[in-house]
């Protein structure tokens, strides 16, 4: 052999690939034409490119160690920009900027996708929390091949086209000289291995669809749209890769009596005019059981009765919201003669036979309220 590539890079013949790469990067920083434009230095830079082209490629290195000339087989000489020129461009960039090379076969194992399921809950369940079982249909690891994708008794084999590298190279000529480009191996799709006998259960994917039951703890205070994360309960990735997360989105069902506004509950009780005037007590079935609502005499329509700490539990922090009971007074529309007579007598006793009514200004507009505020009213 006329050229000693090991001596050019300054490494021993038993040097590892990592040692060869480090030696090349060190010399590339010193001898790159952009750094040192001396013609002799440029010739030296071409030599280290050619040396690295051979010693960084296991096939070419083997041919060289056996006494052959690997550069003559693909037409790339030490003086041209073959793989050692632009083919190792990422290594040169790494030598100057510290960028990492992305070469090598890609893994068949990848993380799975996240999944989401909607869960309907009743108002009392979201108010106090509960535990529910859900059924999910997601990808799980194939039990037949344990995620490898190969049929039982077989295993993936090294691709004979790229020899496990996951990529193939091609030398082309350009105005810059000979340029080597790399692309994913078309036979193994860049994995570096092929599965000659795919698993009959998962067709080589390493995962199958399965329906399973999970137990979900619903914390007190959840509301519509709240998402509960179950780590690692989503889709298993290709090749039996780690599973994604499962998100359970809460959907609170409407309640026949209460309307939720934040952590407060609202409801409306309808009472007759006489009950509003005389006062009464109304039984209400709350989330905590039967409660007696005290309607005071003279209660007007639109007034409310608050029941403190009878609402929804605060999701963060202690305590609960309130239950607000709105009162609606119903005026009778159909009276018989006796009822009408009694009401007229009541109106006469209260001097309300011909009420004149009391008129008040309507609601002020925004500019009127601002004017009053500036005037100190």
Three-state SS sequence of 79-145: CCCCHHHHHCHHHHHHHHHCCCCCCCCCCCCCCCCCEEEEEEECHHHHHHCEEEEEEEEEEEECCCC
Helix 17-31 to helix 39-55 angle, to the nearest 10 degrees? 160
Three-state SS sequence of 280-294: EEEEEEECCEEEEEE
Which residues are annotated binding-site positions?
Answer: 142, 145, 159, 162, 185, 188, 199, 202
Positive/negative CA dihedral, 17, 19, 20, 25: positive
Which residues are annotated binding-site positions for Zn(2+)?
Answer: 142, 145, 159, 162, 185, 188, 199, 202
| Helix (H) or strand (E) segment spanning residue 340 | helix 337-349
Identify the bridge partners of residue 285 per DSSP, sorted by sequence position.
290
As a whole number of Å, the CA-based R_g of the chain is 41
DSSP code string of 180-211: EEEEE-TTTTTSSEE-SSB-TTTTTSSEEEEE
């Amino acid at each position: 052999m006329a050229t000693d590539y090991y001596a050019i890079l300054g490494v021993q013949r038993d040097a590892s690939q990592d040692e060869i790469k480090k030696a090349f990067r060190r010399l590339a920083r010193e001898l790159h034409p952009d750094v040192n434009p001396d013609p002799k230095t440029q010739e030296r830079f071409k030599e280290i490119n050619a040396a690295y082209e051979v010693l960084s490629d296991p096939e070419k290195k083997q041919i060289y160690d056996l006494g052959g000339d690997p550069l003559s087989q693909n037409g790339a000489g030490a003086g041209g920009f073959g793989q050692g020129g632009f083919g190792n461009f990422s290594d040169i960039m790494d030598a100057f900027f510290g960028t990492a090379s992305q070469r090598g076969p890609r893994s068949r194992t990848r993380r799975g996708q996240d999944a989401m399921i909607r869960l309907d809950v009743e108002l009392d369940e979201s108010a106090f929390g509960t535990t529910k079982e859900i059924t999910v249909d997601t990808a799980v690891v194939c039990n037949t091949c344990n995620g490898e994708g190969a049929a039982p008794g077989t295993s993936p084999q090294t691709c004979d086209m790229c020899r496990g590298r996951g990529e193939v190279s091609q030398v082309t000529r350009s105005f810059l000289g000979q340029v080597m480009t790399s692309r994913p191996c078309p036979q193994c799709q860049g994995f570096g291995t092929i599965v000659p006998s795919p698993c009959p259960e998962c067709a080589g994917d390493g995962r199958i669809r399965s329906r399973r039951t999970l137990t979900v703890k619903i914390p007190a205070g959840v509301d519509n749209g709240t998402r509960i994360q179950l780590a690692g309960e989503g889709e298993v990735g290709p090749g039996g890769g780690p599973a994604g997360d499962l998100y359970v989105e809460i959907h609170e069902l409407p309640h026949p009596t209460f309307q939720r506004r934040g952590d407060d509950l609202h409801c409306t009780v309808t009472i007759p005019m006489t009950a509003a005037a005389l006062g009464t007590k109304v039984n209400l079935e709350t989330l905590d059981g039967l409660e007696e609502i005290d309607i005071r005499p003279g209660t007007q329509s639109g007034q409310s009765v608050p029941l403190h700490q009878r609402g929804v539990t605060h999701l963060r922090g202690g305590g609960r919201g309130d239950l607000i009971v709105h009162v609606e007074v119903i005026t009778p529309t159909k009276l018989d003669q006796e009822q009408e007579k009694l009401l007229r007598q009541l109106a006469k006793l209260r001097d309300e036979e011909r009420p004149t009514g009391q008129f008040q200004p309507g609601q002020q507009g925004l500019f009127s309220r601002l004017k009053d505020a500036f005037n100190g009213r």
